[in-house]
Amino acid sequence: MPEVLRQFRSLFVSLKLTIVLLALSIVLIFWATLDQVHLGVWAVQQRFFHSFIVFARAGELRIPVFPGGYTIGGLLLVNLLAAQAYRFRAGWGKTGVWITHAGLILLLVGQLVSGLVQRDFQMSLDVGETKNYSESDRRNELAIIDATDPELDGVVAIPESFLARGAVVQSPALPFRVVPGEYYPNSTLQMRSQAPGAPPTPATQGMGTQIAATPLEVTYRENERNMPTSFVELAGPGGSLGTWMVSPLLGMPQKFEYAGRKWKIVMRPERRYQPFSITLEKFSHDIYPGTDIPRNFSSKVRLNLPDGAAPREVLIYMNNPLRYAGLTYYQQSFANNDRTSILEVVRNPSWLIPYIACSAIALGLVVQFMTHLVAFAGKRRAR
Amino acid sequence: MTRSLPMFVVAAAAVCAFSGLFPGSGRQPDAVTAFGRLPVLSEGRIKPLDSVARSTLLVLQGRQRVAAPDGAELTPDEWLLDVLFAPEKADTYRTFVVDNSDLLLLIGKNDENLAIHYKSSAEQLMAILDILPTRQRRMSFNEIAPYLAEIEAQYKLAEPVDAQARTQFQSAVVQLYGNLSNYVHLRRALAPEGSKDFLGDLLRLQENLAEGIEAVRAKEAGKPHDEAKAEAMIDVGQEFLGMSEGTDLLAIAPDPGDADPNAWRNAGRALLETFGQGFVNPSVLAYAGMGYAWRQHEPGSFEHIVQLYGSSLETRFGRQVGKARIETLFNQAEPFYSCMLIYLAAFFFAALSWLKWPEASRLSAWGLVALGWAIATAGIATRMWLEGRPPVTNLYSSALFIGWGSVALCLVLEATYKNAIGSAAAGLIGFATLMIAHHLALAGDTLEMMRAVLDSNFWLGTHVVVVTTGYASTFLAGILAVIYILRGVFTRTLDKATADALARMVYGIVCFATLFSFVGTTLGGIWADQSWGRFWGWDPKENGALIIVIWNALILHARWGGFVRQRGLMCLAVFGNIVTSWSWFGTNMLGIGLHSYGFTEAAFWWLSAFIAVQLALIAVANLPLNRWRSFRA
């Protein structure tokens, strides 16, 4: 084997590398924990764990300062696999270690997978309301709706990232192109009549002509969300239809007619539709008598199934979510003076992996330490 | 002596510890104790008035003992009786702690008028040595009362600021304002502000009730009426309304036949019902009777009324009254306080055994540790029964449990190695954790209700218990390493056999800690997945627990790979103390995430000091071997 390869091999199978990586991971986790105070947990995950390199910002410059979660986790995985492959010898003495390490490999892979495939949504329901979709609590979409048929809407949804990039969209369902213009990732709106000094608006159509949008700094706080505003031009074959201001802050869709059809345009939280719907029948917020300490939040919901099966009544409360069709609905919050219940909706197809991995690791540790203990007790008895 | 000394020591400690359990040993009349046993609903649970008195005093002034201006000492129950029924006396007791110097200036205090002047020269010397306090920390309500308007103004400025962002002065103002309003509400919980003879007022009301109500009705209907009677009745109603507002002490039990715990109410609300139902609530009357007897110093009738009222409650709320009785007994026995002293003594005997009388001292230490552990077990079991929950529900109980778990492991170590190291570590950790628990209790009732998010006995019983055991064992490994370093560097007692034994102990405990902190952390992930659909969320407390797991794994790999020997192992284990204390307290100080339930400001200072000491110990351990007294040739 060439010398270079041999060095590589001894690096990747070495315990020294393991220890260095473990120490680095401790530093990374500690730093990320501290940074949560400023960034919020979501942004911290992006910056520290779902990244190869952690950057620090010095003015406009992004300086790489530390290996990210993918780097450390990936190297640990390589280290583990290499060591397993290189040092593997049959025998009972190390059984526990092998099981533990196999579980650890599965856990690392599983966390990587769940980081890639897990999706979080919210479903906010007023008492009596029925919905067949949940909404992203972070991302928005531009929906252009063909509302000509009163029975059925035709929807084209364009992710917010397209607006941010300024990507022109042409869809067979639309008789015009969508040309994104200016875009503010976070913003506030004001009536023009109350903001006389506001700069002129690019909007030529709809509500946007009377409203001034001011960009705000992007927020990462857990209980705040960014409210983007964008200006979107619709261009037909015969020329521009005009420019609309769109923002989730506007609330209701703006209507217009083109090519003999009725259209609505709106920017709203990204939706995920399901083939079933949920009705909130009752929301309760119990407190302990004589205090304001919450005792329980619960939502009584009706699950309306698509195939005409009898609807199911379900009580969702703390520590007792509803699991249905690969989605988990849990009680997250409430609003509107206890009239609105907010359910968190999580889709995570890889949820079983950590259960298997952790059971394997725990079993491996027990086996290994019991082996030590029995040997130790035997030695003491022999003395 | 090898056998008789240990037996004598343990027996003496047991007698001291259990003396608090027996009636008649107390410092207060039995009738006052019986009053303290009466159940009320406060902070969401039914508890004895004794617990209300104790937790209120801890919050107000950081201790349960109250000193009257004449130097007499009051028990918590006597203090509560004075607050409720003789507030003009209670207003003179110094029960409000103020430490912030800016706040002291606001209420007209400075170094001069706070200084305590001792008469005897012995006391003066003790004051200089900081054994006796040199200045007053506690003020009476009367001393503060002239400045209430200023305090309120400052409170209104400070209150809108985020708790994390407040200056020390602002936090002190918010705290003092909260304490004052707590106190004022308690003062009018059972009798209206400024009333001299509430029982008489109520009896007269009862007599004139029918006519009075008639007069008010006539007045409202615009018919001829007795104006004086109507006015008097309306005034009484106003007074009751004042009592019903702001008081969280729900002292009046539901009416017979009503089992709903939400039907407990405060005295003011119960009195407002008088006008609807045509008679004064008998429970309020009973309390007014107790108040009359207490004010008039009639111990006979006080005892009589307390007994009558207590037995009437017992027929309807047998279970709650029984629980309240046990809780009162538990409060008075102060098991964790006895425990703390016993652990301290155990440590001294263990240390003594390395210098002199090895066998007798070692056995004494072991006996004391076992006694302390038995008492702690009983105390924790009682709390679990009172609360109906697994052992760990908040920071306070986590401190108790970490101590309990570590000491249990130490007993096993001592039984195996018989070299007093297990007992010494048990004494240190037991004492330290109970001390921490004592300070955490200053935040209020330690049997508080569980917030909805955490309300799952199954997960509290598995995840929390296992992960706390992981904390306990990581600390134990750290403390054993501290003993190794201190004995090795500063004494000649660390011979080769002891050093090897310590290294094996630390290694074994680190293995145990790895297993438990890993399984505990995993169970937390499973709880999160079961409840919220995600296994891991990078919450600060989750991260803290994960760091402990990784650190323990790092120690094991470093030892297996031969990168560290004995001393290196000890240094890594001491650093484990820092990692664990960060996870236990540091993460709560960030004030974010699901687990941010126990922010404590003073704790920040202590945590920093603890970390500094651990780093210093690691530095000491890295002295060259010829500076270690034990290893010098």
Do the Cβ atoms of B55 and B8 come closer than 8 Å? no
* A238 and A218 both lie in a single domain: yes
* Residues facing residue A159 across a β-bridge: A141
Provide the pLDDT for residue B596.
42
- Concatenating the DSSP letter of every residue in B261-327 gives GGG-B-HHHHHHTHHHHSS--HHHHHHHHHHHHHHTT-HHHHHHHHHHHHHHHHHH-HHHHHHHHHH
Do the Cβ atoms of B235 and B211 come closer than 8 Å? no
Contact criterion met (CB < 8 Å) for A37 and B592: yes
| Residue B86 domain-assigned (yes or no) | yes
Rounded average pLDDT over B611-617: 95
- Write the CA distances from A40 to A135, B341, B370, B583, integer angstroms: 20, 44, 46, 19
Q: From CA A99, how far away is CA A358, in angstroms rounded? A: 11
* B153 and B220 both lie in a single domain: no
* A299 and A359 both lie in a single domain: no
CA-wise closest residue to B430 among B466, B464, B385, B380: B380
* B178 and B288 both lie in a single domain: no
The residue in chain B having the minimum alpha-carbon distance to the alpha carbon of residue A110 is B535
Q: From CA B530, how far away is CA B116, in angstroms rounded? A: 59
Q: Choose the most confident range, by mean pLDDT, from B122-126, B133-137, B282-286, B628-632.
A: B282-286
pLDDT over 90 at B494, yes or no: no
Q: Last residue of some domain: A215, A236, A271? A: A271
| Residue A134 domain-assigned (yes or no) | no
Q: Last residue of some domain: B263, B297, B331? A: B297
The sign of the torsion formed by the CA atoms of B35, B294, B445, B341 equals negative
| Residue B335 domain-assigned (yes or no) | no
Do the Cβ atoms of B128 and B195 come closer than 8 Å? no
* B183 and B202 both lie in a single domain: no
Contact criterion met (CB < 8 Å) for B563 and A16: yes
User: With contacts defined as CB-CB under 8 Å, which chain B residues touch A355?
Assistant: 526
Choose the closest CB to B519 out of A26, A34, A362: A362
pLDDT by residue, tens only, chain A of 383 residues: 678 888 888 888 888 999 999 999 999 999 998 888 777 787 888 889 888 999 888 777 888 889 999 999 999 999 988 888 887 666 667 788 889 989 999 988 888 888 788 888 889 899 988 998 998 888 889 999 988 888 888 888 999 888 888 888 888 888 899 999 889 989 988 888 887 777 888 888 888 888 888 888 887 766 678 889 999 999 888 888 889 999 988 878 899 988 888 999 999 998 888 888 899 999 988 888 777 778 888 899 998 887 777 888 999 988 788 888 888 888 888 887 888 898 988 888 888 888 899 999 999 999 988 888 888 888 877 76
Residue B42, classed as helix, strand or coil, is: strand
Residue A241: domain span: 139-271
* A7 and A46 both lie in a single domain: yes
| Residue A172 domain-assigned (yes or no) | yes
Kindly report the three-state secondary structure assignment for every residue of chain A.
CCHHHHHHHHHHCCHHHHHHHHHHHHHHHHHHHHHHHHHCHHHHHHHHHCCCEEEEEECCEEEEEEECHHHHHHHHHHHHHHHHHHHCCCCCCCHHHHHHHHHHHHHHHHHHHHHHHCEEEEEEEECCCEEEEEEEEEEEEEEEEECCCCCCCEEEEEEHHHHHHCCCEECCCCCCEEEEEEEECCEEEEEHHHCCCCCCCCCCECHHHHEEEEECCCCCCCCCCCCCEEEEEEEECCEEEEEEEECHHHCCCEEEEECCEEEEEEEEEEEEEEEEEEEEEEEEEEECCCCCCEEEEEEEEEEECCCCCCCEEEEEECCECEEECCEEEEEEEEECCCCEEEEEEEECCCCHHHHHHHHHHHHHHHHHHHHHHHHHHHHHHHC
Which of A42, A221, A319 is the mutation pick for testing B, counting most B CBs within 10 A? A319
* B284 and B165 both lie in a single domain: no
| Residue A260 domain-assigned (yes or no) | yes
The total domain count for chain B is 2
Q: From CA B585, how far away is CA B599, in angstroms rounded? A: 8
To the nearest whole Å, the CA of B547 is away from the closest chain A CA by 6
Provide the pLDDT for residue A87.
75
Q: Are strands A177-184 and A169-170 parallel, antiparallel or unpaired?
A: antiparallel
Q: From CA B329, how far away is CA B12, in angstroms rounded? A: 21
* CA end-to-end distance (rounded Å), chain B: 35
* Residues facing residue A232 across a β-bridge: A180, A244
* A43 and A101 both lie in a single domain: yes
* B55 and B105 both lie in a single domain: yes
Q: Last residue of some domain: B187, B216, B234? A: B187
Contact criterion met (CB < 8 Å) for B453 and A318: yes
What mean pLDDT is reported for chain B?
A: 86
* A151 and A257 both lie in a single domain: yes
* B257 and B208 both lie in a single domain: yes
Q: Is A25 on the interface with B (CB under 8 A)?
A: yes
| Residue B534 domain-assigned (yes or no) | no
Provide the pLDDT for residue B573.
96
Q: Structure tokens of B623?
A: 């002295």
Sheet of A229-236, strands arranged across: A169-170, A177-184, A229-236, A239-246
* A361 and A337 both lie in a single domain: no
Residue B208: domain span: 198-297
Q: Is A355 on the interface with B (CB under 8 A)?
A: yes
Q: Last residue of some domain: A237, A255, A271? A: A271
Contact criterion met (CB < 8 Å) for A362 and B518: yes
pLDDT digits (tens, 9 = 90+) for B414-452: 998 888 889 999 999 999 999 888 888 887 777 777 777
Contact criterion met (CB < 8 Å) for A319 and B534: no
* B64 and B111 both lie in a single domain: yes
| Residue A197 domain-assigned (yes or no) | yes
Contact criterion met (CB < 8 Å) for A354 and B591: no
The total domain count for chain A is 3
Q: Last residue of some domain: B297, B312, B334? A: B297
* A183 and A203 both lie in a single domain: yes
| Residue B616 domain-assigned (yes or no) | no
Other beta carbons within 10 angstroms of residue A380's beta carbon come to: 10
* B219 and B173 both lie in a single domain: no
| Residue B470 domain-assigned (yes or no) | no
Give the position of tokens 């126990």.
B598
- Write the CA distances from A368 to A360, A377, B298, integer angstroms: 12, 14, 71
CA-wise closest residue to B175 among B65, B60, B95, B92: B60
Q: From CA A162, how far away is CA A151, in angstroms rounded? A: 29
Contact criterion met (CB < 8 Å) for A22 and B563: no
| Residue B628 domain-assigned (yes or no) | no
Interface contacts (A, B; CB < 8 Å): 163
| Residue A368 domain-assigned (yes or no) | yes
- DSSP H or E run through B161: none
Do the Cβ atoms of B104 and B114 come closer than 8 Å? yes
Contact criterion met (CB < 8 Å) for A319 and B511: no
* B143 and B205 both lie in a single domain: no
Q: From CA B379, how far away is CA B342, in angstroms rounded? A: 14
> CA neighbours within 13 Å on the CB side: how many for B431?
17
To the nearest whole Å, the CA of B494 is away from the closest chain A CA by 21
Q: Choose the most confident range, by mean pLDDT, from B136-140, B302-306, B441-445, B597-601.
A: B302-306
User: With contacts defined as CB-CB under 8 Å, which chain A residues touch B527?
Assistant: 319
* A101 and A113 both lie in a single domain: yes
Other beta carbons within 10 angstroms of residue B590's beta carbon come to: 18
Q: Is A290 on the interface with B (CB under 8 A)?
A: yes
* A125 and A204 both lie in a single domain: no
Tell me, what's the ipTM? Answer: 0.82
Q: From CA B171, how far away is CA B176, in angstroms rounded? A: 9
- Concatenating the DSSP letter of every residue in B491-522 gives -S---HHHHHHHHHHHHHHHHHHHHHHHHHHH
Q: Last residue of some domain: A241, A271, A301? A: A271
* A125 and A152 both lie in a single domain: no
* A156 and A261 both lie in a single domain: yes
| Residue A105 domain-assigned (yes or no) | yes
Contact criterion met (CB < 8 Å) for A291 and B511: no
Q: From CA B571, how far away is CA B620, in angstroms rounded? A: 10
* B178 and B48 both lie in a single domain: yes
To the nearest whole Å, the CA of B342 is away from the closest chain A CA by 31
* B43 and B105 both lie in a single domain: yes
* B276 and B141 both lie in a single domain: no
* A107 and A145 both lie in a single domain: no
CB-based burial, B155-167: b 16+ in 10 Å, e otherwise? beebeeeeeeebe
Q: Is A51 on the interface with B (CB under 8 A)?
A: no
User: With contacts defined as CB-CB under 8 Å, which chain B residues touch A25?
Assistant: 550
Percent of chain B with pLDDT strictly greater than 90: 36
Q: From CA A264, how far away is CA A241, in angstroms rounded? A: 13
Provide the pLDDT for residue A383.
66
Provide the pLDDT for residue B546.
94
More confident residue, A18 or B25: A18
